[in-house]
Structures are given as C-alpha cells and as structure tokens.
Amino acid sequence: MVVLPEPEAAKIALDVLRRGGNAVDAAVAAGFALAVTYPQAGNIGGGGFMLVRRADGSSFVVDYRETAPSGARRDMFLDPNRNALESLSTSSWLACGVPGTVAGLALAHERAGSVPLRRLIAPAADLAAGGFPVHARLSAALEEERDRLMPNSATAAVFFPGGKPPAPGSILVQDDLARTLRRIARDGPSAFYAGPIADGLVAAMRKHGGLITSEDLARYRAVIREPLRLAYRGCTILAPPPPSAGGILLAEMLNMIEPHDLRSLGAGSSAYLHLLAEVMKRAYADRATFLGDPEFVRIPLRGLLSPDYARRLMRGFDPEKATPSPQAGPGDPAPYDSEETTHFTIADASGNVVVNTYTLNDTFGSGAIADGLGFLLNNQMDDFSARPGTPNLYGLVGGEANAIAPGKRMLSSMTPAIVLRNGRPFLALGTRGGARITTIVLQVILNVIDFGMEIQEAVNSPRCHHQWIPDALSCESGALPADVAGNLRRRGHEIDITGPRGDVQAIQMDAAAGRLRGASDARGYGVALGD
C-alpha cells in the first residue's frame, strides 16, 4: 500500500513494490518523484524526517533536516531596531538552509533499501524529462504564488512559460531537473553536495546574496536517530525526536488527554474541543520555550515526556473555562527530567512500514531555482526564532533554544508517526500543515483509538488547533455547529474559522486479516494505491 499526496508519484512508488522493492525503496523513489510532480513541497532542495519500522521490529529515524549555513548569524533577520524582517527569512536567498533531502533519502536507502539507488531515481528523472499532466491544484497554486515566484528568472522559466502557469491537463517538462536527477542517479548522492550541482548552487548563492557555501554542502550529514516511544491506552507510538518538536508535543498532549474519557465527551462536542484546546496550548507553550537542535541546547526530554509532568500541567484545567495563554505555560519540566510540507506513508507485504514528512517550508519554498539546476530551494531558515517571541511564517513563537546558529538544525513540526498495538504496526500516518501538523496527527490518532473510526473517516473528520500564541482556537469552516461554537465561546475561547488544513496520508493495518487500508485526505488530491 502506498498513500501519497500526488497520483503520478504514487504510481512510481507502487511500481517499485510490485517489482520486488521494499517500503524504503518505494519511499526513496517517491521522495525523488514528488520533487518533480509536487513542487509545492516535494523536493530535493529541502529536508525532513523519515521514520522506518522494519518487519523484524527494529526502527529508526532519518533526520535530514536542513542546517543553517556557516555564515548565518543570530540577528541576520533583524533590522537596526531589532524588528524581524519577514521577507528576508521567507523570500530571499538568505532564507535557504543547507538542503538535506538527497542525503537523507540516500541514508535511508543505505540502511534498509534493497534496489540500486539509480533505479529508484530513474523514474523521477524520466518523468521530469518526458513531462506529466498538470493537476488543477498545481496550476492554481502556481497562479496564487505568481507574484512571489515570477521575479526569479529560473523559476519563471520552468513554471510560467509565456508568463502563465501551465493549464490543468497540460504537460509540464523540467529538463534542468531531469539532468540534475540523472547526475545524482549516475554518480550517487555525493553529486548533490560536490561537483557541478553544488558549484551551480553556490554560484547562485553568491549572485543573489545567499549564504550556502561549498564547505556547507560538503559538511552536511543526515543523521540516524532513535525514535521516541510513546504510550497511550495500551498502544506504543513511534515518533521523531528533536529537532522535530512533533514527538515531544504528541507525547505531552497524549499524556494530558489519557486520564479523560473521550468517548463520554463525544467526538466534536464542545467539552471535547475545549479539552483539546487546553491541552494543545500547554504543549505549544513548552515548544516555544524548551525545544531546539539537541546538538546545541539541552532539552529536558525526560521531564517533557513524563506523565507526572503532564498531570502537573493540567492542574489548572477547568472543564468549564478556558485558561488564558499567559497562564497556560510554559511549565517547569526540570524536576521530572531524570505550513507547506508533504507526507507519504508506505507499507510492504513483508511488514516494513515507512512514514516520511519533508518540506520546502512555504509553498514552493523560497521560490528560488538556481540557473540550470531545476529544483526549488527551501526557505527553512524562517523556522528558527529570528527574535524570541516574534512569530514566524506559521505564527509560531520561539525562544533562545531555537535561535539561529551556524550548522544548527531549525526546529520542526513534522510528525511522521507509527502506532503499534500488541507490538505490531496498527496505524501509520503524517501530514503537512505547518504549525498544525502535530495537532492534526493527534486528532487522527484519537479518532481511531478513542472513537473507533475507520481510517478514512478519521482522516476526513473536522479538526481544530491551538498553538498557545495567538490565544485562539482555530477550527475548519463548517466544522462547528452553532451550539458547539456558542458553548466554546461561553467557556472563554476566541474562535478563528479557517479553511481546510492538512493533507493526511495514512495506512491502517489489520494484522489478523492481513489487510491494509489506505486513506488519503479529502482535503488534498492524493491517492491510496495497493495490491
């Protein structure tokens, strides 16, 4: 089973499985293919996290998050009055972190792949050279981002031939990207970090005022990390550790929720949504205060993961009244211490499961393509805290733990997760959604475990989000009946109505029946394909 946000890449991933590749092989092929067919977020110019659970029960995380260039400085996005300049951290070449995707996919393949890497990259290169039919959503996204993308001449040449985005159904050919992918396929992942590709990227950085150097590219390494193992209602949940904030946030929220009987509250009820809001704001207060790159800051990990700490955080919880954000946290875990992205989920017949979330950050990243290379670059530097207390692109605030430093990995919300029941994979999922990623994953898990929903219903169900600051409960349009909204407002919640959020790609495993059920979010245009 493969569940991807874009159909052409899904076909490539499924074909890898049909030809005898395993789930990691299919994930690597999907990662490269989405760089061609889903340029909003699929990439080789960004970074992410891959969580692998092997059939033998072992698991690992590949951290291929981008890093700050060696020339990055703590105050690089502040004006002389120390005000944050959002345009520099989102739309300039200074916004680009050192890309990790090629190194990360290659490391996952080295660790657990079975098909030669060149064969996994080849379909993506062929698709770039031969072209693929443009989906209406891609055409619309390009039109929406026209003003941001058009100033970069290389980007305009690829995505705005004749000054317009390709029409739905037309064929998009990306010759420069095809050449880049074929070079990586022929010479291996090192071809991205040294040689002509690296030289072209560095030349573009110099030309446009970016910071990435040849030395930055040569020094980049993807990292193998141990996944966090979270406990909830008899299940074990595998999730990534820092510099992803997702696993810790998920643990905190689940620990705060577990003492409550969600079934008695009812899915979608005002009492349930009130509880979620209170839990979310407390977790996100801790995110802003304690989390960053573990190579640079000490994270009170054991305390943050402690159920006792979660109970302390909830001492002030009032089921009838919202806690103002300034009173909701952050907590003190020390005594207990002994948002454009995309995701795909893949499971093979042998029992290997892969969940992968990667990103350029904003839709189409920084909007920049280096001449002759064909791939979009990230604007991931915005995920650092430009100044403590100043919101980033997604409204998230951060502190000194996530301050900019050379070589540092910026904090992430990505939360690829695998749920084990009785020691076997039961649910695998992840999503895009910026700051909302972790709360989306949380709600799908609760929908399945607590409310007994089938996976497609769990994925499609309305969602809410609270991130401490701003102090508002964000709910999808049409998700709140009038009486529920009224009850929440009476409790003191400010409600912010938004459009659909997230794009979950999930697989539910029925071990007894030997059956896989895939669910691609109705909010997107992905597919679930399987044999």
Give the active site residues.
341
- Encoded tokens for 282: 């407390």
Neighbours of 201 (CB within 10 A): 28
Which one, of 180, 392, 215, lies nearest residue 288 by Cα?
392
DSSP class of residue 336? Answer: G
Residue 495 backbone zone (phi > 0: left; psi -120 to 50: alpha; other: beta): beta
DSSP class of residue 72? Answer: -
**Three-state DSSP state, 179:** helix
- Encoded tokens for 77: 């996005």
The Cα–Cα gap between 292 and 271 comes to 33
HSE-up of residue 426 (Cα within 13 Å, Cβ side) = 16
Locate all alpha helices (DSSP H) within 291-370, ordered by sequence: 301-305, 307-313
Could you identify the residue written with the tokens 């080849």? 122
Q: Is the peptide bond before 151 cis (omega within 30 degrees of 0)?
A: no
Which one, of 301, 287, 325, lies nearest residue 436 by Cα?
287
Locate all alpha helices (DSSP H) within 329-414, ordered by sequence: none
Residue type, 164: K
Residue 253 backbone zone (phi > 0: left; psi -120 to 50: alpha; other: beta): alpha
The Cα–Cα gap between 500 and 477 comes to 7
Which one, of 343, 344, 347, 345, lies nearest residue 516 by Cα?
347
In our burial notation (b when 16+ CB lie closer than 10 A, e otherwise), range 318-354 reads eeeebbebeebbbbbbeebbebbbbbbbbbbeebbbb
Neighbours of 216 (CB within 10 A): 25
The Cα–Cα gap between 467 and 325 comes to 9
Which one, of 507, 518, 501, 510, lies nearest residue 436 by Cα?
501
Which one, of 6, 7, 17, 9, lies nearest residue 530 by Cα?
17
